[in-house]
Chains A and B, each alone.
Chain A
Amino acid sequence: MFTFIFRRVLYLPLVFLGVTLIIVLLMQLLSPAERASTFITSPAQLQHIDVVIKQYGLDKPWYNQYWRWIKNAVQGDLGYSRVAKMSVAQAIATRFPRTVTLALAALLPIVGVGIWMGTAAALNRDKIIDQISRVLAIIGWSLPTFVLGIWLLVVFYGGLDWFQPGQVTVADSIRLSNLTASGVFHHYTGFLFLDALLNGKFGIFLDVIWHLILPVITLSAVTSAQIMRVMRSSLLDALGQDYVRTARSKGLAERVVNNKHARRNALIPVLTVSGFTIILLFNGVVITETIFSYPGMGSWLADAATQLDYASVLGGAVFTAVVVVFANLVVDVLYALVDPRIRYD
């Protein structure tokens, strides 16, 4: 088990090198002047673009640039983000916690609705709850993030005005920047909902949660539906196994058989899918954040792409890759903990 984790961690730098190499090679399709734009922070520098090219060695062969890029990246220097008007590393530091908040909040319905409804459907096969969950699964599965997001926004913001886009309301956002400027509000963690609680601003905390509701529904619909389907079919599979019949014939309570014997085994395929799901979730984050003007990594990446802000796109993409690979590692470790049958050699 330990060697397995160790090996997977060793695999991380390989993925990192692979992803960065691909991105730096793609960068070679740009002209040196375009590449230089990732380092330009002020209009004055535009007059001396040759200097910037020389300074960063952008006219050197690709392997020189790659080495340089890696050296800078390891030191946290990913260039300057025009869209965010700060360094790429700073932009990631402020935006990543927001995206994590959104993704973690989306895990609640994914796990809750997906696993709970999948279980309920399998245990009550062909009854009403099974039929309902199957219809819901087909609908949720077919609702692309951008369609669902727009529809929710049109109905609940445009029509009913219950929810607004953004991270907090405009009033709260102004209040927040005033409080921060006057030194009353401290950003301890970078997670606004935590910071609001730590500062005792319960109103802002509620506002943050309120603004998360629509994005979370949008982000989790497809994934919840998929997890529900997998959970249902794998639990049905497990319930038909010999060990479940044995457990039942031993006279164990139905609840114990279902929860301890069937459900635990049925979770294995669900975990397999969730590794893949994390990658899907990141696709969803880009679209969801853009629709709801949520100031996280995804909307930043999309904005940067439409405004040809190369530094942000490349830095954001590399960071995303690292996060996704890490998340997959966690899933693999969980997988190993849940299923002792898997051998790792």
Chain B
Amino acid sequence: MDSSADDLHTAPAAALRESERGFWRSKAMKRFRRNPLAITGTVIVILYILIAVFAPQLTYFQLKTIRNTCVRDLGLGMGETNKIVEPWTGTFWRSIVAPPSSCFTIPRASYSSVPAPASGKLWLGATSGGYDIYYGLVWGTRSAFYVGILVVGFGMLMGALVGAIAGYAGGWLDNVLMRFVDVVLSMPNLVIAIVIVTILGQSLTHVMIAIAAVQWAPYSRILRGDIMAIKERDFVDGARALGARGPRVVLRHILPNSLGPLLVIASLDIGAIVLTAAALSFLGLGAPVGYADWGQMISFARDWIKGPPGQPLAYWFVSAWPGLVIVIFVLGWNLLGDAVRDVLDVRS
């Protein structure tokens, strides 16, 4: 009978139901969940995160048998190594949250210059120099995330700063900053990183600085665009009318509104950042020899491209395992990133 009034009641109710459904049941998430590639990507990425988090437990066997200084630095005596796998001990949690830096040093099964195939102790074999491949890959996952998260964090901080200044100030300052961004983005990032690492010296920290020195540029551009759009909105005028000054308007009113999407875009870059860091290590410009790091693990393969006469592929494991770990990691991030961008409909 009174259908128009009924519509008036149901329309907001429907909207309310839509919002009540929450994040997990939203249309975007439904689309994401129905995409098998997205699920595959998510599972892969979660798997790697778990490997990174539980690296000490996953290498318990190696820590017990080959004993590097990691066990000592965790404050464990002889026969106490099993505390690493007992969740009710403090050592278990300490090894996860704040493992001593010596844990990143790959234990050496021998000092032989010839790679050793898999055996009871060496699950995936050892590289030339006797570095345990399994240990290096598991702890390498941890150092990969360590690099990825720190670089994204720093890049976002720097990008937010430059983007906020450029977007809010506008005018000549905006022009200068954005031309600077153009210059940074017009260089191959690996070449910039090589220059920076050469000048600063070779270490993992400098690799991170070198990658972050490029990584901030696209973020600042995205943020600047957002800020330019948000700046014109009524609530910003409102805040200004109430007497808020420039920095406060940017920090309290504009930034919180534009950081969300940027955070998603930036965290999807972790895969690419890890890859750049691995490439630098591969070239011999990253972590010191023996540090658990994927790029270095696969660069060991270059010592023995050819096996002994008669068995040319005898040392396949030195390139196969690290390569596989890196490829699956990249695949996971690519699939996840693709699906998320699809859902957000971000066109880059």
Contacts and interface: CB of A to CB of B under 8 A. Distances in A.
A336 interface: no
Report, as a range, how many residues of chain A touch the other chain. 35 or more
A85 B91 CA distance: 54
A286 B194 CA distance: 10
Nearest to B202: A306
Given A15-B182, A18-B180, A141 B283 contact: no
Interface stretch (B155-163, B165-173, B254-262, B311-319): B311-319
A231 B332 CA distance: 22
A154 B313 contact: yes
A65 B276 CA distance: 32
Contacts of A310: 198-199
A282 B188 CA distance: 6
Interface string A128-149: 0000000000100111111100
Interface stretch (A89-97, A118-126, A166-174, A319-327): A319-327
Interface string A47-59: 0000000000000
Nearest to A304: B198
B59 to A, nearest CB: 23
Interface string B269-282: 00000011011001
Interface in B287-310: 295, 298-299, 301-302, 305-307
Interface stretch (B64-72, B107-115, B322-330): B322-330
B326 to A, nearest CB: 5
Given A158-B313, A286-B283, A138 B183 contact: no
B191 interface: yes
Contact of B188 (A26, A141, A283): A283
Nearest to A160: B312
A154 B319 contact: yes
Contacts of B302: 150, 291
B42 interface: no
B195 interface: yes
B327 A147 contact: yes
A147 B323 contact: yes
A26 B326 CA distance: 32
A320 B187 CA distance: 8
B196 interface: yes
Given A144-B326, A159-B312, A153 B305 contact: yes
A90 B330 CA distance: 39
A100 to B, nearest CB: 15
Contact of B327 (A143, A313, A328): A143
B195 to A, nearest CB: 5
A23 B189 contact: no
A305 interface: yes
A320 B188 contact: yes
B183 A22 contact: yes
B45 to A, nearest CB: 13
A158 B305 contact: yes
A286 B191 contact: yes
Contacts of B204: none
B33 interface: no
B284 interface: yes
Interface in B226-249: none
Contacts of A113: none
Contact of A305 (B285, B301, B322): B285
A280 B272 CA distance: 12
A305 B37 CA distance: 39
Contacts of A314: 195
Contacts of A146: 278-279, 282, 295, 298-299
B331 interface: yes
B195 A283 contact: no
Given A154-B319, A286-B191, A29 B200 contact: yes
A301 interface: yes
B319 A161 contact: no
A308 interface: yes
A187 B179 CA distance: 41
Given A144-B327, A154-B305, A158-B312, A283 B190 contact: yes
Contacts of B191: 282-283, 286, 301, 316-317, 320-321
A30 B195 CA distance: 12
A328 B283 CA distance: 27
B194 A144 contact: no
Contacts of B327: 142-144, 147
Given A15-B183, A287-B279, A324-B187, 7 more contacts: A19-B183, A142-B334, A144-B326, A146-B298, A157-B306, A308-B198, A324-B186
13 contacts: A15-B186, A19-B183, A23-B195, A150-B298, A153-B305, A154-B313, A154-B316, A155-B313, A158-B313, A279-B189, A287-B190, A306-B284, A317-B194
**Nearest 3 Cβ contacts at the A-B interface:** A18-B183, A282-B188, A142-B331
